[in-house]
Amino acid sequence: MIWAIYYVVYIIWISVLFRKYVELYDEGFNFYYGFSKTLIYIKDIKKIEKSKSFAVSSVNSLD
C-alpha cells in the first residue's frame, strides 16, 4: 500500500503540478518534474494480488 501512495503522490502528482510532462514507452514511463526526471519500468511496479479469503475476494470482484 505504501508503494501505491509513493507512486501516486511523489511521481504522478508532482509531475502534473510542476511540469506536466510524461513520456510513455512500451516498457515504462518518464516523469519530468522540476529539473529532474524519473524513469519507472512497468515490470517494477508491484501488482495487487487477490487474496484467497472469501470475504476479500468478494470485495475484489466488485471492482
Residue 54 is predicted with a pLDDT of: 47
Residue 44 is predicted with a pLDDT of: 67
Name the amino acid, one letter, at 54.
Answer: F
E runs forming strands in 1-63: 21-24, 28-33, 36-41
3-state helix, strand and coil shares in percent for the chain, rounded to the nearest 5? 45, 25, 30
Provide the residue range defining the domain that includes 57.
Answer: 2-61
pLDDT, averaged in runs of 10, over the chain (63 residues):
71 64 77 72 60 48 46
The whole-model pTM stands at 0.36
Give the number of domains in the chain.
1
- Record the cell numbers describing residue 33, joined without a space: 518534474
Residue 58 is predicted with a pLDDT of: 47
